A = this chain, B = another copy of it.
Amino acid sequence: MPASAKRANAPSAELLEKLFRTAYKIRVFETEGIKLYRQGLIRGYFHPYLGQEGIATGVCAALSEGDIIASTHRGHGHCIAWGADVKKMVAELLQKESGYCRGYGGSMHIADISKGNLGANGIVGAGTPLGVGAALANQIKGNDAVTVTFSSDGGSNNGTFLESLNLAAIWNLSYVLVIENNHYAVSTRIEDSTREPDLYKRGLAIGVESHQVDGNDPLAVYHLMRDAVQKCREGKGPILIEAKTFRHMGHHVNDPGKYMPEKELAHYKERDPVDRARNALTEMTGIDKSQIDAIEEAIRKEFDDAVEFSKASREITLAEFQQFIDSY
C-alpha cells in the first residue's frame, strides 16, 4: 500500500516547519562544512549528505525521545535530524575537546549515546547489526522504543545485513532499517552491484515488511516512517524502508564525481529535497517569504556560531590522552 493511501490527516504547520528547518540545517552544515574542509580546517574523511536530506529529515521527524538511531559514514544529516548540537558537531570535525567525541572520533564516528545516537560508522553496513542490537536491548528492557538504522545501498551487500535483519525478524524487534539507495557506492553503480536494484525485496525474502519510497520527498518519507514506527510500537516490527535518492556531488569532498551522469544528476536536483520541504511549507501553510528567510538566517547563524565556538575550543592534551590510554 503506498504511503499516501495511509495519510490519516494533513500535515500540521508545525511538522512542515520542522521538516524544512531540519533539511535546511543539514544543507547549510554540509555546504559550509565543505568550505571549512577546503580551508584545511577539517582533516580525514568528509562524506556530504547533500541531496539526501529528505531521508534523515522525514525519518527522524517520526521518532520520539527515547528512540535510537545508528548511522553510516555519511552521517552528518542523521545526526542533525536527530537534534544534535551543531556546535559539538563542528567542534568534533575540528578535532576539538568540545566535540561530541572530544576529537577522538571525527566525521565518521560522531555519536551521542546519551541521546540515543549510536553514531556514524566507518565500516559500511555495520550500523545494521548494531541497530538491531539496540532494538534487542529495548526489548529486553521492555520499553516501546524504536531503533532505526540508516544504511546504504552498499551496506545492503554486507552479509550482516542478512544475518542481523533476520535476527530482528525472528525476534519481532521494534526496528526500522532505512536503506538510502543513492545508486552509487563511490563510483560503482547499484546496477553493477546487483541484478535486483530494488533492495527492499531483500527484506521480503526473509519475511520482513518492506517498502520503497521517494527519498527526496521528506513528507512521503515521514508518512511512511510514521506508520512503520507505529507498527513497531505495536510489536509488528521490524520494517525495512528503501528510500531512493541521489548525491548532489561526489562520494567525499575530494571526489569530483565525474562518473555521475549529468542528466540523472539534473533530474534529482530538480527534485531537491530541501526545495521540496520549503515548498511544502510555503504551499501548505501560506507562510511568507520573510518568515522563511528568518528561519534560514537563524540556521546559518547557528552554524557560524558553532564555527566560532569550535575555533575557540582547545584540543585534548597528551596528558589527557595518556590518562585515557591507562584506563583503556
A interface residues with partner B (beta carbon < 8 Å): 157-163, 166, 169-170, 192-196, 201-202, 204-208
Contact = CB atoms under 8 A, between A and B. Distances in A.
Q: Is the interface of A mostly helix, strand, loop or mixed?
A: helix
A315 B170 CA distance: 48
Nearest to A172: B195
Nearest to A199: B205
18 contacts: A157-B166, A159-B163, A161-B162, A162-B162, A162-B202, A166-B194, A169-B194, A169-B195, A170-B192, A170-B194, A170-B195, A194-B206, A195-B207, A196-B206, A201-B204, A202-B205, A204-B205, A205-B205
Given A206-B196, A207-B195, A207-B196, A158 B169 contact: no
Nearest to A200: B205
Contacts of A192: 170
A158 B163 contact: yes
Contacts of A158: 159, 163
B170 A193 contact: yes
A157 B205 CA distance: 12
Contact of A202 (B159, B160, B194, B206): B206
A295 to B, nearest CB: 43
B202 A195 contact: no
A202 B201 CA distance: 9
Nearest to A169: B195
Q: Which of A162, A195, A202 has the most CB of B within 10 A?
A: A162
Contacts of A202: 162, 205-206
A194 B170 CA distance: 6
Contacts of A205: 196, 201-202, 204-205
A161 B161 CA distance: 11
A238 to B, nearest CB: 10
A194 B163 CA distance: 10
Contact of A159 (B162, B195, B204, B208): B162
A201 B205 CA distance: 5
A218 B82 CA distance: 57
Contacts of A207: 194-196
Contacts of A206: 194-196, 202
Contacts of A163: 157-159
Contacts of A201: 204-205
A207 B196 CA distance: 5
The 10 closest A-B pairs by CB, nearest first: A159-B159, A195-B207, A205-B205, A196-B207, A162-B162, A201-B205, A202-B205, A159-B163, A169-B195, A196-B206
